[in-house]
Each structure stands twice: as C-alpha cells, then as structure tokens.
C-alpha cells in the first residue's frame, strides 16, 4: 500500500466513557476495522479490555490513565453524578492525544456528549454517539431539553403521559423513577441528562443497537425530525470467536426444555422475591438455568430440576443453545437484542430505569410477554405459584415460540446484504471512505 493510500484510510477513535456497557463499542470497533478503517480504542477504565477484542487485527488499544479529577466547586453528593463529572473533566487531557492522531471521527457515548462535543469541535473532528438503549428511550432523552423548557415540572407534576413528537405518548409509569423527583433539585436531570442532551445537535450521527422492523414507528419519527442522523445497525454481531458456553449440563438438555433466568448485572429484586422465583421455577416443572449476582442465599441449592450459577456467563452463547425455551429477564436492551437474534421468547419482568419502555417493544413485536402486574419495581411480592404457572404456560405455548422465531427472521434479514441494518452501516462507512472526505 502506498503512503498516499495510507493517509486516505479512515482513522476512527472509539472513546467510551466507561459508564455502562462496553460491548457495543467492542463490536462496532471490530466491524469498522474489518471495513478498511484504522481503529484506535482508548480505554479509560482501570482494568484491561477483553483480550478477544484487544487481540483483534486492525484494532489498537490505548490505555489512558483516568486520574481522579476533583472539584471543590460542586455541592452534588450523588456518587454517580460525581463520577461522571470527574470523567468529563479528565477527558480534556485527551485533546493533545486526539490532535496528534489525525482522526477521521470519534465514537463515544451519551455520558460525555457535552464534553466531547466541545473537544471535537475545537479539533474539527466529527463526533458520533453510540447509544446502548432502545430508540424509544433515546428519542425521549433527545427531546428532554424541549420538553422541560415547555414544563420544568414535567416529571414531578400530575401529568400521566409524556408526549414526544411523532410518537405515541409515553405513560409516566414507564419513565425511570429517578427522573420523577423535583426537577429543580434532580441532579440526574440538571447535571447529567440535560447538558448532554443539549449537545446532541452537534453530533454527526447516532448509532443504535436496534433495527428498523423492531422499532419501526420510533425510528421513523426520529428520521422525520431530521435533528440527528440515525444509523440503526443492530443487532450488533459478536466480536469474539465463536465458542461454546462451557456448560455441559445445558448441552445435555433436550431442545427448548430449559428456562433461562438472568436479571442482569444490577439485580434489584429482594431476597423474599428471590425465594419466590426459585419456588416458581420448581413449580413450573421445567429444567432451569438461573444466573444470579447474589451469593450465599440458602435457596440457591442445586436441585435435580435446575442449576444456579452465581456470577456471570456468556449470555449470548447461552441464548444460542437449542435447549433454551424461555428467557426470564428484566429487559436490559442488549439482552433483548440478543434474544431477538436467537428467537428466544422473553418473559419480561422490568425492574427500573428504561426497562418498562424496553418491555413495551418486546410486547409489540411478539418477542415475548410482559407481565405488567409484576412490574412494580419490587414493591409487591410476586407469588411463586403465579410465576410457576406463567413460566409453564410460556414453555408450552407454540404460538409464542413461533412469534419469537418470526422476530429472529426479521433480525437476521436486517443484517444480511440488502437488509436495513447493513444498509445503515454501509452508509456510515461511506461517510469515511468516500473520496469527498
């Protein structure tokens, strides 16, 4: 390759804040590296990145020492807000590094949108956001400045629904509980959400881990607004070599005979509810695999019917196993995309944050069932007998399984040549590889 061609190779920098899930960044970086782009991944976390990612051809990982940047000019005691503020202050030390790299574009996330919008503007580098949420939740966040300018007490007044332009009203019961505090003292809104949402018009494009068919109405509304260029490129492919899940017990089970339970990395269910879930799984009569963050609970004794693992598993590989029949989950967006890719029906049990909005997508698309009466944020105990009945019904319902397989077909079509997600990705790559750039 000649020197001039090397200079024309797009150089993309991935700079996630470290707040939230890094997997979408790993996946996108690998895909970009496989599309004739040079990729630099700046790791601001204290721990090393996944070795499978770090060793991928075409990806260079640069560790950046994110020293604590304290400020005495703040009265905010919220540890999350304080951490985000510290990261944002430290990012300014990256400006000289970015200036020296001859960067074609920066890819980051919402938590540092305002800071990187300023840095990228100063360096004349296009900034792209990678959203790890649903298109619906992202649309709500995008519209926050407008909504709160029209009604500063929107989240603390008696309004039952929130109107976002071009989309059906969002019930206030679906809004994250942390937003519903008094707006004037809610630092999540004033110090985190609003500043970053106001910076979004400076962003060149937004990549979503979703696909047109799955969130058709919301994506159409976002595109019609023309405020942002949206690239729905999901479900995002794995960046790892295909391997087994290393769970011999699961591999020995018959097809679609196992209930997979995983409430995510931030479980919020109570010990009493844990015991009722265990009771319900036993009552269902089906084998189960339960992955939990809780340890030492007396109810977590292995039975002939199920196996309980404390810690993490590779969820993507578990869902790909033919033995899985139903997935009980609190509706983290990446989990939903993984279930859609494999066509595994979901029993949606949202607990907090954006999860009720995510559960709505599960219900609308037919990927599974949302038990709305269970979704009280842990305030009411769901009886094990009821859990057992619902799990058993889903495991035996062929219509539910057929509907989930239909979602799988649409997800695969989106990522094939000519599919909506592939077209969106090609359009994105064209922005960097075009002779005009």
Out of 2-11, 143-152, 348-357, which region has the weakest mean confidence (pLDDT)?
Answer: 2-11
Average pLDDT rounded to a whole number, residues 208-229: 92
Token pair of 381, please? 């105990």
pLDDT band at 295; cut points 50, 70, 90: low
125 or 293, which is more confident?
Answer: 125
Q: Could you give the 3-state DSSP secondary structure of residue 270?
A: coil
Out of 21-30, 106-115, 174-183, 417-426, which region has the weakest mean confidence (pLDDT)?
Answer: 174-183
Token pair of 100, please? 């020296």
**Mean pLDDT, the chain, integer:** 88
Average pLDDT rounded to a whole number, residues 361-369: 97
What integer pLDDT is reported at residue 47 of this predicted model? 84
Place of tokens 């105990």: 381
242 or 9, which is more confident?
Answer: 9
Q: Strand ranges (DSSP E) for 122-263? A: 127-131, 161-162, 170-171, 205-208, 230-232, 258-262
pLDDT at position 6 over 90: no
> Any residues with CB less than 8 A from the CB of 159 and at least 6 apart, and which?
151, 172
Average pLDDT rounded to a whole number, residues 152-157: 83
> Any residues with CB less than 8 A from the CB of 247 and at least 6 apart, and which?
289, 307, 313, 318, 321
Average pLDDT rounded to a whole number, residues 350-373: 94
Work out the percent of the chain whose per-residue pLDDT is above 70: 90
Distances (CA, A) of 103 to 112, 197, 291, 404, 412: 18, 24, 41, 42, 33
What global pTM score does this model have?
Answer: 0.92
How many angstroms separate the CA atoms of 125 and 398, rounded?
51
pLDDT band at 67; cut points 50, 70, 90: low
Average pLDDT rounded to a whole number, residues 294-320: 76
Nearest to 277 by CA among 367, 185, 384, 188: 384
What integer pLDDT is reported at residue 7 of this predicted model? 47
Average pLDDT rounded to a whole number, residues 392-418: 97
Q: Could you write out the DSSP letters of every residue in 376-404?
A: STTSSPPPHHHHHHHHHHHHH-HHHHHHH
Average pLDDT rounded to a whole number, residues 90-106: 93
Contact between 332 and 264 (Cβ < 8 Å)? yes
pLDDT at position 4 over 50: no
Average pLDDT rounded to a whole number, residues 135-143: 95
What integer pLDDT is reported at residue 3 of this predicted model? 32
Contact between 21 and 334 (Cβ < 8 Å)? yes
What integer pLDDT is reported at residue 278 of this predicted model? 92
Average pLDDT rounded to a whole number, residues 147-172: 87
Q: Could you give the 3-state DSSP secondary structure of residue 418?
A: coil
Out of 191-200, 217-226, 227-236, which region has the weakest mean confidence (pLDDT)?
Answer: 217-226
Angle at 140 between CA 229 and CA 429, to 5 degrees: 20
23 or 312, which is more confident?
Answer: 23
pLDDT at position 50 over 80: yes
């Amino acid at each position: 390759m000649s020197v001039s061609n090397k200079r024309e190779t797009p150089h993309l920098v991935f700079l996630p804040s470290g707040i939230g899930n890094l997997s979408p960044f790993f996946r996108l970086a690998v895909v970009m590296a496989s599309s004739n782009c040079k990729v630099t991944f700046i790791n601001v976390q204290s721990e090393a990145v996944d070795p499978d990612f770090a060793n991928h051809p075409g990806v260079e990982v640069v560790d950046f020492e994110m020293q604590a940047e304290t400020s005495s000019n703040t009265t905010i005691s919220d540890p999350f807000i304080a951490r985000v503020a510290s990261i944002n202050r430290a990012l300014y030390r990256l400006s000289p590094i970015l200036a020296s790299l001859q960067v074609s574009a920066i890819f980051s996330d919402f938590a540092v949108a305002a800071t990187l919008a300023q840095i990228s503007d100063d360096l004349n580098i296009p900034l792209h956001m990678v959203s790890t949420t649903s298109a619906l939740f992202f649309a709500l966040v995008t519209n926050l400045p407008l909504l709160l300018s029209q009604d500063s007490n929107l989240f603390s007044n008696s309004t039952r629904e929130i109107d976002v332009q071009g989309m059906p009203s969002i019930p206030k019961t679906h809004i994250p509980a942390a937003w519903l505090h008094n707006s004037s003292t809610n630092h999540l809104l004033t110090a985190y959400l609003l500043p970053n949402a106001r910076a979004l018009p400076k962003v060149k494009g937004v990549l979503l881990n979703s696909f047109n068919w799955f969130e058709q109405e919301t994506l159409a509304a976002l595109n019609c607004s023309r405020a942002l260029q949206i690239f729905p490129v999901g479900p995002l492919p794995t960046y790892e070599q295909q391997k087994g899940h290393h769970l011999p017990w699961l591999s020995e089970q018959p097809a679609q005979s196992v209930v997979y339970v995983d409430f995510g990395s931030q479980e919020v269910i109570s010990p009493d509810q844990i015991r009722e879930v265990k009771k319900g799984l036993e009552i269902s009569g089906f084998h189960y695999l339960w992955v939990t963050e809780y340890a030492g609970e007396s109810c977590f004794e292995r039975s002939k019917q199920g196996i309980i693992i404390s810690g993490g598993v590779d969820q993507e590989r578990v869902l790909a196993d033919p033995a899985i029949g139903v997935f009980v989950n609190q509706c983290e967006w990446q989990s939903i995309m993984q279930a859609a890719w494999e066509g595994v029906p979901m029993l949606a049990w949202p607990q907090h944050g954006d999860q009720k909005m995510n559960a709505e997508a599960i219900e609308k698309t037919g990927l599974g069932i949302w038990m709305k009466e269970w979704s009280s944020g842990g305030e009411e105990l769901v009886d094990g007998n009821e859990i057992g009945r619902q799990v058993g019904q889903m495991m035996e319902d062929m219509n539910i399984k057929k509907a989930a397989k239909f979602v799988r077909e649409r997800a695969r079509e989106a990522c094939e040549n000519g599919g909506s997600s592939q077209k969106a990705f090609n359009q994105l790559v064209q922005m960097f590889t075009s002779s005009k750039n």
